Structure 1
Amino acid sequence: MLLVASRFEMLWDEQWLLMIEDLLPARTGGPGRPFSDARAMVEGIICRYRCGVAWRDVPGVFGPWQTIWTWHRRLAREGTWDVVFQRLRAFADATGLIDWSVSIDSTIARAHQHATTITRHTRGWIELHEPGIEPPDHAIGRSRGGWTTKIHRVVDGNGRGLVTLLTAGQAGDSPMFEPLMAHLQVPRQAGGRVRTRPDRVRADKAYSSCAIRTHLRRRRIQAVIPEPADQAGHRKRRGSRGGRPPAFNEVDYPGRNVPEQHT
């Protein structure tokens, strides 16, 4: 195994040995070109995303950047990252590391100038971690910031990513709520049914709608979503027919900004 300086170590030994190593191709010792060290490749990929650098700027201690990119692309196409992600989530849930007070939000990412000449279709959304699916538009659309992609996320109370979906930049937040909740599926290490229901959902005013509140109420999930002023005014104008104001936990609501801190 490749020995690197401690500041370049991206994985715990337990994470590598128990959840990742058996999913990757191994060195066979046969003739031909030397086989790349699998752990160095994975840690190089992690380093690239953690630092937000170009592939060619990945530190050379991990190996040639072209090889690291090839491993990343091949494992993504084969669905290996999906299996690793599922294992990590199952481990976190089994050890009590997941805080099931989840938060939902989105952020905008500007498209690179080279990505703006492709064919675009404005309908639908894609799952970031679903293998083998690459729509023609790559989730690129025009918004105020130009050609952009919108990243929708569900994170737990500690900022751990549970679901990530992509849409074109002009897509709204509210229509993506139910798809995000439908993809919230955390397997259990001991087997049995996957967990799909959080204790509460924190979200901003963009997610305040009768459909979303009804969805959460039906599933017995606490909604920590403020009521916009226009909805409150409409409800008051209707008098008794407008019903009571929705319950809102002001003390718990500040935890909603967790996705913004980790996106």
Structure 2
Amino acid sequence: MSRFELLSDAQWSLSEGLLPARTGKQGRPFSDARIMVEGIIYRYRCGIAWRDLPPVFGPWQTVWTWHRRLAGDGTLDRVLGVLLSQADAVGRVDWSVSVDSTIARAHQHATNITRLTGASSNYTNPAVEPLDHAVGRSRGGLTTKVHHLVDGGGRPLVIALTAGQAGDSPMLLPLLGQLRVERIGRGRPRTRPDAVRGDKAYSSRAIRAHLRGRRIRAVISEPADQAGHRQRRGSRGGRPPGFDAVDYRNRNVVERGFAIMKQWRGLATRYDKLAICYRAAVVLNAIIHWTTALSDTT
């Protein structure tokens, strides 16, 4: 197989019918849409500039335009949703989910754009470009934070972006709100996981009450300051929250998933000016993981 052939035939067959055949309503159909997808993957895997894309993928402007439109119209999110439905139908989704975030340093080419600092990113509609472009200043400089809600195998279910200085805890409820896996055939979409694993950053009274109200088991460690505050209040502090230390060890799947994601150099460092373009590449990376999982079952 050539170094430019980045998808197996089994992987491509799972997503071929879900992607458009042209860049727009008036555009000329592609002779091979697979080349467009593999060109996008190659660019993010290598972390190169669009202009440096090898000629085997065709004009770089065409590949970039295709990626920009897929990011703007939500096509990749719909593809991921269909793959999640297929995976759930064959029992490949482990509903004991884990949540965490990772930081991606923003390259200077991603920050030379006017942005309203301090503006919050758009959580409800990932296809809308946030005012701050999901770029903020943290200890590491100008950064973007990628939030993942993954299944028990570390494969992404929900993906969101915020500015680098944003906290993790406020993002858990929006991530759970976006979790929706359609059923194949009859039945309501599944929106409730069996358990949520998270580190100390997600330990709050509001989060635990929300999970308890939805009958979702919380596997979230308690920070020492919260435990000390509860103990100082005596009987008024209430009982310590339940914590399964053995199950908590499985939370590392989200960390391993981030390590796999950042093997794509264009995701480990953000070069995209627009947040929707960078997020679309993260979603494409998740699609590759799910097509790999589904192709193993065939």
Fold shared, TM-score > 0.5 on shorter chain: yes
1:138-217 equivalent positions in 2, closer than 5 A: 138-217=133-212
CA 1:12/1:137 → structure 2, altered by over 3 Å: closer, same or farther?
Answer: same
User: Structure 2 unaligned runs (5+)?
Assistant: 259-298
| 222-231 or 107-116, larger mean C-alpha shift | 107-116
Secondary structure of the residue that 1:186 maps to in structure 2?
A: coil
Identify the residue that residue 234 of structure 1 maps to in structure 2. Answer: 229
CA 1:229/1:33 → structure 2, altered by over 3 Å: closer, same or farther?
Answer: closer
Identify the residue that residue 124 of structure 1 maps to in structure 2. Answer: 120
Identify the residue that residue 20 of structure 1 maps to in structure 2. Answer: 16
Find the aligned partners of 2:29 and 2:182 in 1 and give their Cα distance.
37
Find the aligned partners of 1:129 and 1:261 in 2 and give their Cα distance.
27
CA 1:20/1:232 → structure 2, altered by over 3 Å: closer, same or farther?
Answer: same
Conservation of the 8 A alpha-carbon contact between 2:119 and 2:132: no
Please identify which structure carries the higher helix content: 2
User: Structure 1 unaligned runs (5+)?
Assistant: 27-31
Conservation of the 8 A alpha-carbon contact between 1:110 and 1:148: yes
Secondary structure of the residue that 1:252 maps to in structure 2?
A: helix
Identify the residue that residue 29 of structure 1 maps to in structure 2. Answer: none
Find the aligned partners of 2:140 and 2:14 in 1 and give their Cα distance.
43
Find the aligned partners of 1:116 and 1:200 in 2 and give their Cα distance.
41
Conservation of the 8 A alpha-carbon contact between 1:204 and 1:225: yes
Conservation of the 8 A alpha-carbon contact between 1:82 and 1:129: no
Q: How far is the alpha carbon of 1:120 from its aligned partner?
A: 1.8
Secondary structure of the residue that 1:87 maps to in structure 2?
A: helix
Query: Rg: which structure is higher?
Result: 1
Find the aligned partners of 2:102 and 2:54 in 1 and give their Cα distance.
28
Q: How far is the alpha carbon of 1:78 from its aligned partner?
A: 2.8
Conservation of the 8 A alpha-carbon contact between 1:103 and 1:156: yes
Find the aligned partners of 1:149 and 1:254 in 2 and give their Cα distance.
27
Q: How far is the alpha carbon of 1:92 from its aligned partner?
A: 1.3
- CA-based RMSD: 2.5
| 76-85 or 210-219, larger mean C-alpha shift | 76-85
Q: How far is the alpha carbon of 1:35 from its aligned partner?
A: 3.7
State the TM-score, normalizing by the size of structure 1.
0.86
Conservation of the 8 A alpha-carbon contact between 1:116 and 1:147: no
Aligned residues with identical type, % of pairs: 65
Conservation of the 8 A alpha-carbon contact between 1:225 and 1:253: yes
Find the aligned partners of 1:46 and 1:96 in 2 and give their Cα distance.
28
Identify the residue that residue 244 of structure 2 maps to in structure 1. Answer: 249
Conservation of the 8 A alpha-carbon contact between 2:21 and 2:30: no
CA 1:91/1:9 → structure 2, altered by over 3 Å: closer, same or farther?
Answer: farther
Q: Which has the higher contact order (CA 8 A, sep 6+)?
A: 2
May I ask how many residue pairs the two structures share in their alignment? 254
Find the aligned partners of 2:186 and 2:44 in 1 and give their Cα distance.
31
Find the aligned partners of 2:193 and 2:29 in 1 and give their Cα distance.
47
